């Protein structure tokens, strides 16, 4: 049954994604707000199918942040990006530049003001990321980053990259850690029924030294994530 429901959801998700991408492609010519609306519509349609077809609901714990803040989230599945896009106020997502080359998906990401980075550029990439992030904060919007840089399976050893500390230091804003347990329900193909929890933790105030910040961020996210997975 799980395999069948997972297949049906995959067909639903692919169909909705293809339809919205093709029908609403002209939205890319309109102001950014139109793309934001389309992205939210896509995410809601995906979550509707996830609930009805695969039996996966979701729950928010803690207080989602508003305004110019850095949000650092655990990353286990594509679900995370969809959920945080719905919950946060039009966030700019820090992602690898290669994602922007994906037809339709990448184009909409670019239009929605994603902050793309080239991991091969080193310090230059951080400077460009900081410049783009400052512009987003000036608009009163949050910045979303996945500090491990890639998706992790439940139980994988953490691997936090220094880019999040660089942003935190340069921007001088609070950082809100986010824990979740999506990897227990959304895998690459199989979707297991249950309730995914997205938990916003207490903000880390600005001003910590890089080492202290990284240790605090990892400890908070990993502890809360482990508790969610074990619940």
The confidence score (pLDDT) of residue 60 equals: 98
**pLDDT over 70 (residue 14):** yes
The confidence score (pLDDT) of residue 119 equals: 63
The confidence score (pLDDT) of residue 122 equals: 60
Residue 130 — very low, low, confident or very high, per pLDDT cuts 50/70/90? confident
Mean of all residue pLDDT scores within the chain:
89
Helices (H) and strands (E) in the chain, counts: 7, 7
The confidence score (pLDDT) of residue 120 equals: 63
The confidence score (pLDDT) of residue 121 equals: 61
The pTM of this model reads 0.91
The confidence score (pLDDT) of residue 27 equals: 74
Percent of the chain at pLDDT > 70 equals 90
Distance (Å, whole) CA 186 – CA 197 = 12
Domain residue ranges in the chain: 56-230
154 C-beta neighbours (distance < 10 Å), count: 15
pLDDT mean over 151-170: 92
Phi-psi region of 148 (alpha: psi -120 to 50; beta: other; left: phi over 0): alpha
Judge contact between 77 and 182, C-beta under 8 A: yes
Alpha helix (H) residue ranges in the chain: 2-23, 32-52, 78-87, 105-111, 123-138, 163-171, 210-230
Q: Which residue has the tokens 């994988």?
A: 156
Judge contact between 110 and 57, C-beta under 8 A: no
Distance (Å, whole) CA 28 – CA 66 = 26
Q: What is the pLDDT of residues 40-63, one digit of tens each?
A: 888 999 999 999 999 999 999 999
115 C-beta neighbours (distance < 10 Å), count: 22
Q: Which CATH code for domain 56-230?
A: 3.40.1130.10
Distance (Å, whole) CA 91 – CA 85 = 7
Give the residue, 97 or 203, on which the prediction is more confident: 203
Q: What is the pLDDT of residues 68-84, one digit of tens each?
A: 999 999 999 999 999 99
pLDDT mean over 143-149: 94
Residue 195 — very low, low, confident or very high, per pLDDT cuts 50/70/90? very high
Q: What is the pLDDT of residues 82-105, one digit of tens each?
A: 999 899 988 998 887 776 667 666
Q: Which residues contact 123 (CB under 8 A, 6 or more apart)?
A: none
Judge contact between 83 and 76, C-beta under 8 A: no
């Amino acid at each position: 049954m799980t395999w069948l429901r997972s297949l049906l959801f995959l067909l639903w998700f692919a169909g909705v994604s293809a339809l919205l991408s093709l029908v609403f492609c002209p939205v890319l010519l309109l102001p950014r707000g139109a793309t934001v609306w389309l992205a939210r519509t896509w995410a809601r349609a995906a979550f509707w199918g996830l609930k009805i077809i695969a039996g996966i609901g979701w729950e928010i714990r803690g207080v989602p942040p508003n305004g110019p803040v850095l949000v650092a989230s655990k990353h286990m599945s594509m679900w995370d990006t969809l959920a945080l896009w719905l919950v946060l106020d039009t966030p700019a997502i820090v992602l690898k530049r290669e994602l922007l080359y994906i037809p339709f998906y990448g184009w909409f990401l670019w239009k929605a003001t994603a902050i793309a980075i080239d991991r091969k550029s080193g310090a230059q990439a951080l400077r460009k990321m900081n410049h783009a992030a400052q512009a987003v904060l000036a608009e009163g919007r949050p910045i979303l980053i996945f500090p491990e840089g890639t998706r992790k399976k439940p139980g994988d050893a953490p691997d936090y990259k220094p880019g999040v500390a660089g942003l935190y230091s340069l921007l001088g804003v609070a950082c809100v850690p986010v824990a979740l347990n999506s990897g227990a329900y959304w895998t690459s193909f199989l979707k297991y029924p249950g309730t995914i929890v997205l938990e916003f933790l207490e903000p880390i105030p600005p001003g910590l030294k890089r080492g202290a910040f990284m240790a605090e961020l990892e400890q908070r996210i990993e502890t809360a994530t482990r508790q969610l997975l074990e619940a």
